[in-house]
Homo-oligomer: A and B are copies of this chain.
């Protein structure tokens, strides 16, 4: 069991309730990473489902839960032959923090009937770059849990040279060796700096809603995350991420809508 497996553990209490303990290791600035929180929720949903994979997860981020105990409440709305439908809520101190609708099914990694390539080319790993380690007082604890190696232009914002377009691209893996699985994918779709940084925006950019689809079980090795946005307007922006595995298979797709930071 890796530290990530432990940090996302969900212990069944009764028919509809799981106990979880939110790990401070996934703080980013102060709040806990949204992908990590989805992974915790999904542990409970999949444990309760007759199917193996979270094919669709739609999450509303209502509040920012703090590290420590919380519960996941499940309502399995329908169980069909191909898929099951669950509403799952992460609750802390009696207050709903994240509301989700999850569809579980079992993927077989069959040969695709049709498969498009990545939305953007990615240079080889050895030409990509890391962000410098954050200052300890910044509470960017999550940086120690994941390895992110960026396509250089999409880190231009860090040295005052943003590309001018909302985009972030990086190789991703858990820092502690671990094969990617559905829960690692939940982290991957929300692990990169907000795409708006490359468009010249800064500050905390809270996710309001994120939907992601798992498309196949990822092969061992690095994942590639290619994220971009189409529109920044009215204080809202979209962020689309596609995740490819080391075999070149599309394993996850996500879109979130978030608020532009003010800081």
Which residues on A are within 8 Å of B, measured CB to CB? 55-56, 58, 60, 62-63, 77-78, 82-83, 85, 87, 96, 99-101, 103, 105, 107-116, 165-166, 196, 199, 201, 208-209, 211, 213, 215-216, 229-238, 242, 250, 253, 255, 257, 259-260
* Residue from A112, A115, A236 having most chain B Cβ neighbours under 10 A: A236
Neighbouring B residues of A237 by C-beta, 8 Å? 114
Neighbouring B residues of A101 by C-beta, 8 Å? 58, 60, 99-101, 209
A215 touches B233 (CB 8 A): yes
Neighbouring B residues of A229 by C-beta, 8 Å? 114, 116
Nearest chain B CB to A27 CB, angstrom units:
22
A231 touches B116 (CB 8 A): yes
**Given A113-B232, A166-B114, A216-B234: A77 and B62 within 8 A (CB)?**
yes
The contact sample of 16 A-B pairs, CB cut-off 8 A, is A55-B208, A55-B257, A62-B78, A77-B99, A82-B235, A103-B208, A105-B236, A112-B231, A114-B165, A114-B232, A116-B165, A116-B231, A213-B255, A215-B233, A215-B236, A253-B255
Which B residue sits closest to A107, measured CB to CB? B234
Partner of A112, one of B78, B233, B250: B233
Nearest chain B CB to A60 CB, angstrom units:
5
Bound CA–CA A209/B78 (angstroms):
14
B233 touches A110 (CB 8 A): yes
Neighbouring B residues of A85 by C-beta, 8 Å? 60, 62, 99
A242 touches B230 (CB 8 A): yes
* Residue from A101, A109, A250 having most chain B Cβ neighbours under 10 A: A101
Nearest chain B CB to A170 CB, angstrom units:
19
**Given A253-B238, A255-B255, A257-B56: A115 and B209 within 8 A (CB)?**
no
Extra pairs beyond A55-B208, A101-B101, A112-B233 (7, CB < 8 Å): A58-B101, A87-B99, A114-B229, A115-B232, A116-B230, A213-B255, A238-B253
Bound CA–CA A201/B114 (angstroms):
10
B234 touches A58 (CB 8 A): no
